[in-house]
C-alpha cells in the first residue's frame, strides 16, 4: 500500500480511497479494512476473493493491482489494515444506470450481453464460477465497457453444496437445496442481468414454484410470464422481441440441464442481431452518466431522513437500549443456534448515521417486520442492535434468531 498515495475518499462499508500508484501514476480504487471492522466480517472470504483475482486477466473482469496487510499511519497512530487495490471502473454500477436512467434498448442489451458472455466464458475456462452475478456486481469502465466484479463467492469446484449468493438472484437448484454446478448457476444469473437491462426491474422475487412469476417456468408455461411482464409496459407485447424472450426462457430454465451453453448462446438468433458501435454506446451512456451524476448529487444534498417510532412498540418485548444497558432487559435462558458465517453478509452493515438515528430506523423496521411474520416466542426472536465504531460509524445487526 505504500506504493499508493491517497487523494480522495468515499465512505462505504469499507473505507474506499481513490488513489494512484506513485511510480506509474495509474489510478486505483483502494479498499482499506480497518482492524475493528476485520473483527466483524469474514476475512477468509476477502482473502479468497483476492486469490481468485490474482489469477484472472480479462478486459471484462476487474483487475487486481495489489493486496495484503500493511501498516497505515494516521497522524501519530499506526495500525495494521488489510488493503485491496483495484483498477478503477469510472463508469459506475450497471444497477445505477438501469434504476436511474431507465431500460436499455435490445441492441444496447445485446452489446453488454456480448461482453458479459466474453468475461464469463473466460472465467469458466480458467476453472472458476462466480456464483453471485447481479447488476450490483457489474461495473462500467470509463468507455462504458462492462466489468465483472465481486468474486467473494467464486468457486473452483465442479460441484457445490453451499447456498451462497444473494437469495433473490439464486438459481432454483440452490433454493431447492440441491447440489449444483456453479457454472450452470452463472448462466441463470446472466439471464437475470439480461432481463433487468431490458425490463428495468427484476424478473421475479424468487426462483421458486411459489413465486407468481417464476412458477410459469416450472410448469413450462413461459408465455404466461411474458404476458404478465408485458402488461406493465407502455408498448405492451411489443416491448420484448420474440427472439429475446426465447433466449431468456432458455437461460431461466428450471432444470439446469436445459440451460444453454456458451456455444449455444452464441448461435442463438437474438445474440447474433445488430450491435451498436463503440461510439454510439459512449455517446448514449455519457448522457445517461450525466443524468445519473445529477441524481446522485441531488440525493447527497438532501438531509438524512429521520425515522420516528412509538416507544410503545417495545412493550412486552425483549430488547436492549442503544447503550446496550441490561438494567431493564429481560434475560432469556435459551441457547442460540449457530448460523453460517455467510448470514452476516445480509444482516450486518456499517453506517455513518448517528447511533440514535440508526436505532430508531431499525426499531421501526423490526416492529413492522414482526407484524408480518408470525413465530413462537419460545422458539424465535427478532434481534436488532447497534454499536459505535470509532465515533464515526455505527455498526448494525438485524436478524431473526432460532433457538433450541
φ, ψ (nearest 5 deg) of residue 87: -60, 140
In DSSP terms, 401 is beta-bridged to 381
Element (H, E) at 101: helix 94-101
> DSSP secondary-structure letter at 196?
H
Distances (CA, A) of 349 to 12, 352, 385: 10, 10, 11
Q: Which of 189, 169, 200 is nearest to 100 (CA)?
A: 200
Strands lying side by side in the sheet with 64-74: 4-11, 15-21, 27-33, 77-87, 64-74
Catalogue the E-assigned strands of 127-231.
138-140, 146-148
Distance CA 360, CA 373 (A): 20
384's CB contacts (< 8 A; 6+ apart) are 359, 362, 363, 365, 366, 396, 397, 398
What is the per-residue DSSP string for 210-274? TSTTTHHHHTT-HHHHHHHHHTTSTTGGGSS-HHHHHHHHHHS-SSGGGSPPHHHHHHSTTTTS-
Asked if 132 is an active-site residue, the reply is yes
Q: Residue for cell digits 413492522?
A: 368
Catalytic hit among 96, 132, 186, 211: 132
Distances (CA, A) of 317 to 125, 332, 356, 377: 53, 11, 19, 10
User: Residue 354 CA to chain centroid, in angstroms?
Assistant: 25
Q: Residue for cell digits 454506446?
A: 281
Catalytic residues: 132
Amino acid at each position: 500500500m505504500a506504493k499508493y498515495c491517497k487523494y480522495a475518499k468515499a465512505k462505504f462499508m469499507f473505507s474506499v480511497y481513490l488513489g494512484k500508484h506513485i511510480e506509474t501514476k495509474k489510478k486505483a480504487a483502494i479498499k482499506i479494512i480497518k482492524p475493528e471492522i476485520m473483527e466483524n466480517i469474514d476475512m477468509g472470504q476477502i482473502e479468497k476473493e483476492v486469490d481468485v483475482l490474482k489469477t484472472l486477466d480479462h478486459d471484462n473482469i476487474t483487475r487486481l493491482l495489489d493486496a495484503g496487510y500493511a501498516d497505515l499511519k494516521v497522524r501519530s497512530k499506526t495500525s495494521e489494515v488489510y488493503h485491496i487495490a483495484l483498477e478503477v471502473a469510472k463508469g459506475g454500477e450497471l444497477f445505477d444506470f438501469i434504476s436511474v436512467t431507465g431500460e436499455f434498448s435490445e441492441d444496447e442489451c445485446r452489446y453488454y450481453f456480448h461482453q458479459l458472455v466474453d468475461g464469463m466464458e473466460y472465467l469458466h475456462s480458467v476453472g472458476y464460477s462466480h456464483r453471485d452475478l447481479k447488476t450490483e456486481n457489474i461495473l462500467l469502465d470509463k468507455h462504458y465497457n462492462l466489468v465483472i466484479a465481486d468474486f467473494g463467492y467464486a468457486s473452483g469446484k465442479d460441484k457445490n453444496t453451499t447456498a451462497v449468493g444473494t437469495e433473490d438472484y439464486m438459481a432454483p437448484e440452490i433454493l431447492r437445496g440441491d447440489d449444483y454446478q456453479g457454472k450452470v448457476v452463472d448462466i441463470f444469473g446472466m439471464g437475470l442481468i439480461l432481463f433487468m437491462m431490458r425490463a428495468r426491474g427484476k424478473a421475479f422475487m424468487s426462483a421458486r414454484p411459489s413465486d407468481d412469476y417464476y412458477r410459469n417456468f416450472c410448469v413450462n408455461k413461459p408465455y404466461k410470464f411474458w404476458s404478465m411482464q408485458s402488461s406493465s409496459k407502455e408498448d405492451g407485447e411489443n416491448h420484448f422481441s420474440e427472439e429475446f424472450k426465447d433466449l431468456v426462457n432458455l437461460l431461466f430454465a428450471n432444470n439446469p440441464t436445459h440451460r444453454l451453453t456458451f456455444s449455444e448462446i452464441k448461435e442463438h438468433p437474438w445474440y447474433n442481431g445488430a450491435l451498436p458501435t463503440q461510439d454510439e454506446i459512449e455517446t448514449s451512456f455519457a448522457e445517461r452518466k450525466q443524468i445519473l451524476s445529477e441524481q446522485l448529487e441531488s440525493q447527497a444534498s438532501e438531509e438524512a431522513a429521520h425515522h420516528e417510532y412509538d416507544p410503545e412498540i417495545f412493550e412486552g418485548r425483549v430488547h436492549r437500549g442503544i447503550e446496550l444497558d441490561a438494567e431493564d432487559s429481560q434475560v432469556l435462558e435459551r441457547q442460540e443456534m449457530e448460523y453460517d458465517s455467510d448470514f452476516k453478509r445480509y444482516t450486518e452493515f456499517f453506517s455513518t448515521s448517528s447511533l440514535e438515528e440508526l436505532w430508531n430506523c431499525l426499531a421501526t423496521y423490526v416492529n413492522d417486520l414482526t407484524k408480518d411474520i408470525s413465530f413462537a416466542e419460545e422458539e424465535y426472536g427478532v434481534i436488532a442492535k447497534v454499536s459505535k465504531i470509532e465515533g464515526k460509524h455505527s455498526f448494525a445487526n438485524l436478524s431473526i434468531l432460532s433457538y433450541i
